[in-house]
Structure 1
Amino acid sequence: MAAQGDARRVGVVRERGGERRVALTPPGVALVRALGFEVVVQAGAGWGAWHSDDAYRAEGAEILDGPEFAGASDILVCVAPPDPGVLRPRSTVVGLLGAERHGAFADACAGLHVTALSLDRLPRTLSRAQPMDALTSQAAIAGYRAALLAAGTFGGYFPMLMTAAGTVKPATVLVLGTGVAGLAAIGTARRIGAAVTGYDIRPEAADEVRSLGARFLDVAGPGHGSGAGGYARALTADEADAQRGALQERIAGFDVIITTARVPGRTPPLLVTADAVKAMRPGSVVVDAAAGDDGGNVEGSAAGRTVVTAEGVTVIGAANLASDMAPAASALYCRNITAVLELLAGPAGPDRGDEIIAAIAVTRPEGESR
């Protein structure tokens, strides 16, 4: 289906698999239309984030569904990879496409000669890319949510309380991985009143943790763990073993463990072994915020599943925490998407020479995977 008039169409897809976020909110429609685009929304796309079809219509978007929506967009915006059946040949798709984990989708885009732009490849070190940094915006929400989930599950108080019956000590919380999600978890747990400690393999993390009023766990482990583009690097097998060994004896001393360590495009590193969980006190809580289809930071955790071990430790595979806060997460993600669309505005489409476009492109102009 061709775009109406001379304006190109931005399509907003309805997410699959229980994902509640939406790539473009009704307030974002006006911003995108101001860039010169028309906006078409798949019926029900915003409902998971509590945005009705009528709210989109009020901002000038057209609502379509089924065969009418499929192929109606010059640029399709999404959170997770959509069904390839909604893509039009030689169009563009923008989202958190996870090409390393969703190779079949990348291949489908190649077959359709679709330009696939994945925001999880965004170079964080470029200042002009910061408004497009969806990993950061969504990780901040996930870290905040992880701390609240831990506090709600733990059977004691997070803050210290002084009562007529005596003083209640604050919960002790250890956050493993102090990227954006980890720092958000630390800050939130601190605001609730817990005694918080953070740990990361990156040497610069110590100052970041202490700046939030938390302690930094100083253990003998692997050396420099900083990677390219502002991300942590994957450890070698020997380094990973050394890291786990250094952590295991310390984990048992905490009431709550929150893990947030991810390496883009890789399986999350195993930080907490089953033996370490077994050594924790009954009533302790472990929230694996890195849990997903490709594994997690905690041995035995599973995405979307909560288990209580025989020793009385609650282990939560906290998959896709940002989706649990879909209204807030969608509002931030919409700003990231709008910033990308600014690069795509104009009749010529994506500028292949732009360093951001070059970095996030999963397929070449000819449609080949890269």
Structure 2
Amino acid sequence: MILGLLKEHGDETRVALLPEIVQNLIEQKVEIFVEQSAGETAFAPDEAYREAGAKIVSRKEVFDKAEVLLQIQPPSEEDVNNIKDSQVWISAFNPLWETDLVKQFREKKITTFSLDSIPRSTRAQAMDILSSMATVAGYKAVLEAALELPTFFPMFMTAAGTIRPANVLILGAGVAGLQAIATARKLGAQVYVFDVRSAVKEEVQSLGGKFVEVEGATEDKAAGGYAVEQTEEYKKKQQEAIDAQAIKSNVIICTAQIPGRKAPLLVAKDTVEKMKEGSVIIDLAASTGGNCELTENNKTVTFQGKTIIGQSNYPAKTPLDASRMFGKNVFNFLKLIIGEGGTLNLNFDDDIVKGTCITHKGELYNERVKSVIENN
């Protein structure tokens, strides 16, 4: 088969495959077409792809000849119009949220795989782009907070007196939150962590964080490790606990999201008003509404001396290693759909292939996406 690697649009600086992974695919007898300058912003020049065995072509030629089209970001409207029903589109297009795009794919009978829908199972860990990119986001968010903060992160004992360490509150202890804990602790901050899932308490403590406990949370083992919607009574207790900790914090890192839903509002405007001047809020849930009431996606807001940064794509600020991690995840997934002699083999008997497939021949394949679309 011919796999076409597309250049990203907008502010995206990553690339779905670096030359090192292209070489691995060619060893699997897959022919690779790379759009000209696709890896330029990830420090992967066209010559490196040529040396790996790929063919450098125009975007039009990729769409004309490739059986499989690959990029990180969702397709533009123009791309959707150019995809043929005989082709396979692979990207991370957040199908639980971008339901209109899913409907377009279904109507055009395009076969699509969304890499952010890979089932969360032990076998699928090597393909889990969400965990890989969340690791980058959690790390980068803390570094940006440290740069923006008008005080130090660690405690300093100096001749001029003692500098107290920064208080950091992390909302959500998923992969991004755990990486944020580790990074903030390495920088010497005191770290407090809130999560509705009591099962993460031990992980938080093992990294040196202090778990902010609120009793009465609803947990669902079927949610694949994600947080779920909570009762109004719990939300009230949750808000009180977060408010009490937030007003003592210098930094808040927001990472809490619920798949297919607007991000839970955890930091109200009233809370921000009570925070110390110079405080910094980094909101990684900005693209789905944000955990902070004042968050604006891809913008930095200043409110009463506090800085609120809405940033949902920190991996694009670390393009080389983020591309390396993403590409390795993609390669591990692609191996499931590469048959003998490098042919395309869509084996829907494989639970990972079926779970990652969103649309095929005019049908919805992913059960969660199907449920969201049919119930709206």
Change (3 A) 1:226 1:237: farther
Give yes or no for the alignment of 1:50 onto 2:46. Answer: no
1:20 deviates by: 1.1
2:103 alignment partner in structure 1: 107
1:280 alignment partner in structure 2: 275
Change (3 A) 1:81 1:303: same
Distance of 1:143 and 1:10 partners within structure 2 = 32
Aligned residue for 2:249, secondary structure, equals coil
**Candidates 59, 81, 84, aligned match of 1:88:** 84
Give yes or no for the alignment of 1:300 onto 2:287. Answer: no
Distance of 1:51 and 1:265 partners within structure 2 = 34
Over the matched positions of the two proteins, sequence identity in percent amounts to 38
Flag structure 1 segments of 5+ consecutive residues without an equivalent.
1-7
Distance of 2:285 and 2:11 partners within structure 1 = 18
**Candidates 3, 9, 13, aligned match of 1:20:** 13
The residue correspondences of 1:281-360 to structure 2 (distance < 5 A) are 281-292=276-287, 294-310=288-304, 312-346=305-339, 347=343, 349-360=345-356
Distance of 2:27 and 2:151 partners within structure 1 = 51
Distance of 2:20 and 2:118 partners within structure 1 = 24
Distance of 2:200 and 2:344 partners within structure 1 = 42
1:158 alignment partner in structure 2: 153
2:373 alignment partner in structure 1: none
Change (3 A) 1:227 1:168: farther
Give yes or no for the alignment of 1:62 onto 2:55. Answer: yes
Q: Structure 1 stretch 106-115 or stretch 202-211: which is displaced more? A: 106-115
1:251 alignment partner in structure 2: 246
1:236 deviates by: 4.1
Distance of 1:226 and 1:236 partners within structure 2 = 17
Flag structure 2 segments of 5+ consecutive residues without an equivalent.
365-369, 371-376
1:263 alignment partner in structure 2: 258
1:91 deviates by: 1.7
Change (3 A) 1:66 1:118: closer
Distance of 2:329 and 2:322 partners within structure 1 = 11
The residue correspondences of 1:144-293 to structure 2 (distance < 5 A) are 144-220=139-215, 222-224=217-219, 228-292=223-287
1:4 alignment partner in structure 2: none
2:113 alignment partner in structure 1: 117
1:36 alignment partner in structure 2: 29
Contact 1:109 1:116 in 2 (8 A): yes
2:363 alignment partner in structure 1: 368
Distance of 1:80 and 1:198 partners within structure 2 = 31
| Partner deviation per Cα, 1:74-126 (whole Å, 9 max, x = no partner) | 111211112224423222122212112323332333244321111222221x2
1:228 deviates by: 1.6
Q: CA RMSD in A?
A: 1.7
Q: Counterpart of 2:323 in structure 1: which amino acid?
A: S
